[in-house]
Structure 1
Amino acid sequence: MSPRLRLALLSLGFALGFALPVHAQASELELTVPSLEQRAGHALALRAHWFAADATATRRPALVLLHGCGGAYQGSGRLSARMTEMAGLLNAQGWHVLVLDSFGARGEKSICTQRIGTRAITMANRRLDALGALQWLATRPEVDASRLALIGWSNGGSTVLAASDLNVAAVRQGPRPRALVAFYPGCAAELARHYRPSAALLMLLGEDDDWTPAADCKALAAASADPKPEWESYAGAYHGFDGPPPVKLRKDVPNGAHPGAGVHVGGQPQAAEQSRKRLLNFLHTQLD
């Protein structure tokens, strides 16, 4: 089945109110990447999950999935539904997927309730994780190293920005992605650094997001150099709009647009459907 036909069938499924079932099998591995810990003399191997597309004689695009502040796993220890479902969707397009866990090797499960200025796991850590993952993918015989992509959610979306800012020396070295996708990232830090994207970027935003406000990302897109970032914002959508409803107030999160007041998190089915269509169209444009 051609990628275009797969996309047409998936779009039909979304239009009818459901996603077509996708199945993905993962191989767990350890991925040693350049890291701040290694520079201090400590080896660091990150836990990762490799979802290979159907085997063919041709090299395929490959995408790195970067989790948010809640980590890559459910409470049961299994890989989160968001990661497994997205890996299956991307495998169905004929693309390889690597899910990276930035927290476990550093002794954390979640950092959502930690104030940003106090977090031990920073964007500097996660940037190197993402760049190391791209380097690993570029060595794989089944991967087309000229067609790599980064996709991240929330803190992982911020990592996509941090790992693609040409103002950072490490970003200008090694393999570069062709496509970048950030779901509701925090954009304030990269906006202040005069972000210069290394590849085509799509940001998918919740218009009512009070954790990582859409306004910062719109400003970043307006101020960025070519290639000009794209964004799409969904009315009535909060942080995590592509997850399960209902929307809940999390008072345990100290960060956000109104520190101390908590943040709203939860799915909005229409925004979830529209963002997935936009994601696939963008990726096919960049990777096909």
Structure 2
Amino acid sequence: MSSPIQSLAGLAALLLGLGAGGAQATQAQVQVPSLDQREGQALPLIGHWFAAKAATSAKPAPAVLLLHGCGGPYDKKGGLSERMLDYVSVLNAEGWHALVLDSLTPRGEKELCTQKIGTRAVTMTERRRDTFGALQWLSARPEVDAQRLALLGWSNGGSTVLASSNTQHPEVKAATEKALKPRAAVAFYPGCEADLKRGYSPSAPLLILSGGSDDWTAAAPCQALVKASETLSLAKPQIKVYPGAFHGFDSSAPVRLRADVPNGVTPGAGVHVGGQPAAREASRQDMLSFLREQLK
């Protein structure tokens, strides 16, 4: 099987039929410098850039940074996953740019899901610095409105959204003081325990979308985080919890037990992952309504 780099090389300027009515968006593989360093040099990350069709330097458009979960952004064949391409299509149809960031391949990792928390080489520190590097990269592009950037993440990427927008963390506070922050942030089924413990004060309006039956990253800590953060910030976070929905409820895949995942509400018992049509549709509309309001 070819690597993600090999299978995606040469995609620059490739036109893909994306968005409503087959609207065209240009996809290019790009290099995005992380704020994480290796031997004094910025670590180069792999990015997949989907420019909104009508945006120009004279009329820049908002941009959304897509942050993958513990499984990375690719499918088993090495191409971008169905989830990533689906959301890119939706975002481009709104007239927004989209950047899919790969935090794993440049660090020699394929996935984190089967690794115990506490043993992972790629942590929220690395992913936070990747996020800031990507925001910096987006801000420098002439076709991007640097005042209208958004974060969108799933699972481990959802936790990255929290870790990258919590001004209680020194790195986030420093970035915010340099105006390096998103206009809005959306986190699908994130793990909220770490930022709940730290105390969460968002640098931007935040929407959390959680499954009521999620036994991997439970909704309860996220509900507690939202409630507790009301006393720390003027930007009150929002949360939507979809009854009966498991982890990955926005997928079209059937629910299955992943016994290979060592983390979760009951460590060692595995976790359930899979889609729920009602939650998939509702969360899509909730996400779009929120981003439309924040990026207008």
* TM-score under structure 1 length normalisation: 0.90
**Aligned twin of 2:202:** 197
Distance 1:222 1:79 in 2: 36
Higher strand share: 2
Query: Structure 1 residues 134, 43: closer, same or farther in 2, change over 3 A?
Result: closer
Q: Summarize deviations over 1:207-232 as a string: whole Å, max 9, x none.
A: 00000000000000000032111010
- Percent same amino acid at aligned positions? 57
Query: Structure 1 residues 55, 20: closer, same or farther in 2, change over 3 A?
Result: closer
| Structure 2: segments with no counterpart, 5+ residues | 1-18
Contact 1:22 1:92 in 2 (8 A): no
The secondary structure found in structure 1 opposite 2:253 is coil
Poorly superposed stretches of 4+, deviation over 6 Å:
none
Contact 1:102 1:126 in 2 (8 A): yes
Contact 1:211 1:264 in 2 (8 A): yes
**Counterpart code for 1:257:** V
Query: Structure 1 residues 236, 49: closer, same or farther in 2, change over 3 A?
Result: same
Structure 1 range deviating more: 152-161 or 221-230: 221-230
**Aligned twin of 2:45:** 46
The secondary structure found in structure 2 opposite 1:88 is helix
**Aligned twin of 1:115:** 116
Selected match of 1:220 from 198, 216, 225: 225
**Aligned twin of 2:4:** none
Contact 2:34 2:42 in 1 (8 A): no
Task: Give yes or no for the alignment of 1:71 onto 2:76.
Answer: no
Matches within 5 A, 1:1-288: 24-35=25-36, 37-38=37-38, 40-41=39-40, 43-56=42-55, 57-172=58-173, 173=175, 174=178, 175-224=180-229, 225-288=233-296
Distance 2:278 2:27 in 1: 29
Query: Structure 1 residues 182, 22: closer, same or farther in 2, change over 3 A?
Result: farther
* Structure 1 position 33, deviation (Å): 1.7
Distance 2:21 2:228 in 1: 40
Q: Summarize deviations over 1:77-134 as a string: whole Å, max 9, x none.
A: 0011111110111011010111000000000111100001100100000000001100
Query: Structure 1 residues 22, 161: closer, same or farther in 2, change over 3 A?
Result: farther
Structure 1 range deviating more: 41-50 or 143-152: 41-50
**Counterpart code for 2:289:** N
Structure 1 range deviating more: 178-187 or 238-247: 238-247
Distance 1:252 1:157 in 2: 21
The secondary structure found in structure 1 opposite 2:268 is coil
The secondary structure found in structure 1 opposite 2:35 is coil
Query: Structure 1 residues 271, 20: closer, same or farther in 2, change over 3 A?
Result: farther
Query: Structure 1 residues 285, 69: closer, same or farther in 2, change over 3 A?
Result: same
The secondary structure found in structure 1 opposite 2:118 is helix
* Structure 1 position 41, deviation (Å): 3.1
* Structure 1 position 42, deviation (Å): 5.1
**Counterpart code for 1:46:** L
Distance 1:159 1:22 in 2: 32
* Structure 1 position 44, deviation (Å): 1.6
Distance 2:132 2:71 in 1: 21
Contact 1:22 1:85 in 2 (8 A): no
- When the two chains are superposed, the root-mean-square deviation of aligned CA atoms in Å is 1.4
**Counterpart code for 1:161:** L
| Structure 1: segments with no counterpart, 5+ residues | 1-18
* TM-score under structure 2 length normalisation: 0.88
**Aligned twin of 1:7:** none
**Counterpart code for 1:253:** V
Structure 1 range deviating more: 201-210 or 19-28: 19-28
* Structure 1 position 34, deviation (Å): 1.0
**Counterpart code for 1:210:** D
Contact 1:22 1:88 in 2 (8 A): no
Contact 2:63 2:97 in 1 (8 A): yes
* Structure 1 position 176, deviation (Å): 1.1
Contact 2:20 2:93 in 1 (8 A): no
